[in-house]
Structure 1
Amino acid sequence: MKNLKTFKIGGIVIGAVIIIAILVVSLFVTRIPNGYVGVVYSPNGGVKDNTLSQGWKLVGAFDKVTKYPIRIQTVEYKDIQIATSDGKSITIDFAYNYQVEPDKVSFIFNKFGPISIEEIEDTYLKTRFRDAARKGISKFTVIDVYGEKSSDAAIDVQQRFSDDVAGLGFIVSNVTVGVPQPDAKTQEAIDKRVEASQELERKTTELEIAKKEADRKRVEAQGNADKLLIEAEGQAKANKVLQQSLTEELVQYETVKKWDGVLPYVSGSNIPVIQLPSQKTETTK
């Protein structure tokens, strides 16, 4: 019985030692995830120059480590209210990619303090992005944002936002502009503009078709006219040649070829007369 109690006490002691060891180790070890770097802040010495790369790293017992992503991160901002150049108020969703320059993480820490990157995204970066979006979208009409110029609006916003935060060490890319959500009056105005644009496009298409059809008929008529002219000229030349080749003897010869030698029966005493060419007889000397 005494040995059993001794064994239980020994197990408790070993377990306590293990737990204490884990707690002690956790004070001196930190893990940096893949795609992140860590900035170490010591209460005694401030921010350390060397950043921590990915993996398990030893740190001081009282050091604080703030992690920053150096791989691409995606941020989405929902329902941002913006006014267009024609005074329409619309609600738009935005998204963008960014990453932190590794050699500027210490500067970012000194700028914002020991807060997470998610807090920076939802405070400072969101404020700067809203400002860039407001200035960029305000250059376009609501129809532009809905139509082909939506990509131009996204490029404008991205350029403004990227230039604004680049000095802090944030690299911005791929800003996308969602489909605007206008109020009822704005939607009605948009629908009318779209209908008018579609009607204009339809009429323009019909006009182009009519022009092409008219051109086709004009070319066809010109072709027919040229054909008739060529035929007429050919017939005139043929008639001229025929007229020049006709002689009295040729006419009589053609008549005789077609006569079967029978005189036609006609009423009265008139008998058709066919003059045959006289045959010359040779005189015998």
Structure 2
Amino acid sequence: MSKFSKGAVATGIVAVLVVGGFFAFTTNVKTGNAGLVINLNGGLEDKVLGQGLKPVAPWKKVVEYPISTETVYIDEEHGSAPFPTTTNEGKQVPVDARYSYHMDVKRLPDIYAKFKGVSNTVIENGWIKTELQKTVRSVTSQYTVFELNGAKIAEINGKVLEQLTADLAKDGIVLEDFSIGAIHPDAKTQESIQANVDAQLALQKLEMEKKQKEIEAEKARIEAKGKADAATIEAQGTADANKLLEKSITPQLIQLKELDVQMEIAKNQNLPRILMGGSGDTGSAILNIPSDFTK
């Protein structure tokens, strides 16, 4: 073998050793996770590794836990059967659920110690699921199946979130969100729910009709009041006008009208005449009467 060939082989061996050594002394912590270092000779170390490539000796191992948000679905669509909960009537009703959480990076050593180093998936399917179901049953037992079906579901979710958040936080699990999804009652309970929904819809319809009639009645009252007010204003105007007219009829105006009549008589001497009583010192007047009225 030539010196060149021997050199190439040696270089290759060195490269393999370097690459192998690199991977033997490093670990890649996945994005969104943090890693705990376990020394096989001395147990859990205090150091917590962030994401990315980190140097780790071959006699140590790394256990990863999620410190970014993990969302878990409990429903058949995601391969997990609904779990039964209880209402205050004593009914057992299967429900779906969804929650989001992450692990407190500062509490990772406590989490490792409590759960004996198992993965977060095992913790989800075991301890968290048990705590969740226990809390949901505790809260829903205070409500009817109709309220669980929707009437007070927001209130129920809020209570579960508050109580479960406090319980999980004791062990380093940070619950971010929780909600009950669909409920799966038996056929008889479903019929009762539907009957209740129908009754509520009928009641809402009656209330809407009542409000509509009240609106129409109020509109008619306003229109009637407007007409009455208009008639009152018109009558008041007529009365005021009559008062003004009455005040305007004076003895002097009457005398002036008598003079107008006398002037008309003087212009037409052929009309039949009657005597009129004078007013004051004006004396009598003679009024021409058309011949048609004297026949």
Instruction: Please state which band the TM-score falls in when normalised by the shorter chain.
Output: 0.7 to 0.9
Instruction: Number of aligned residue pairs: give it.
Output: 269
Counterpart of 2:31 in structure 1 is 34
The alignment partner of 2:47 has SS state of coil
Distance 1:257-1:146 versus aligned 2 partners, 3 A rule: farther
Summarize the Cα distance change of 1:190–1:263 in structure 2 as closer, same or farther, 3 Å threshold. farther
Partner of 1:50: 47
Structure 2 residue runs without a partner (length 5+): 76-81, 285-295
Q: Is the 8 A contact 1:34 1:55 kept in 2?
A: yes
Q: Is the 8 A contact 1:37 1:52 kept in 2?
A: yes
- Compared CA separation, residues 243 and 103, structure 1 to 2 (3 A): closer
1:141 matched to 2:141? The reply is no
* Cα 1:279–1:160 shift into 2, 3 Å: closer
Task: Tell me: CA distance 1:90–1:249, structure 2 relative to 1, closer, same or farther (3 Å).
Answer: same
Range with greater deviation from structure 2 (24-33 or 130-139): 24-33
Give the letter aligned to residue 63 of structure 1.
Answer: K
Alpha-carbon distance between aligned partners in 1 of 2:146 and 2:58, rounded to the nearest angstrom: 59
1:232 matched residue in structure 2: 235
Of 201, 208, 211, the residue aligned with 1:208 is: 211
Report the RMSD for the aligned CA atoms in angstroms.
Answer: 3.4
* 2:175 equivalent to 1:172: yes
1:25 CA displacement: 5.0
Counterpart check, 1:101 vs 2:104: yes
Compared CA separation, residues 263 and 64, structure 1 to 2 (3 A): farther
Q: Secondary structure at the match of 1:273?
A: strand
- Residue in 2 aligned with 1:283? none
Q: Which structure 1 segments of 5+ residues have no match?
A: 265-270, 281-285
CA distance in 1 between counterparts of 2:177 and 2:167 reads 15
Normalised to the residue count of structure 2, the TM-score between the two structures is 0.76
Question: Are 1:27 and 1:62, in contact at CA under 8 Å, matched by a contact in 2?
Answer: no
Q: For residues 256 and 221 of structure 2, what CA distance do their matches in structure 1 show?
A: 47
Q: Closer, same or farther in 2 for the Cα pair 1:71/1:272, shift >3 Å? A: same
Matched, 1:154 2:150: no
- Larger deviation, residues 66-75 vs 90-99: 90-99
Assess, with a 3 A threshold, how the Cα gap between structure 1 residues 233 and 50 changes in structure 2: closer, same or farther: closer
Q: Helix, strand or coil for the counterpart of 1:219?
A: helix
Task: Please give the TM-score of this superposition, normalised by the length of structure 1.
Answer: 0.78
Q: 2:88 maps to what in 1?
A: 85
Identity of aligned residues (%): 29
Q: Deviation at 1:251?
A: 5.2
Say if 1:46 and 1:241 are closer, same or farther in 2 by CA, change over 3 A: closer
Name the SS of the counterpart of 1:143 in structure 2: helix
Amino acid at match of 1:195: D
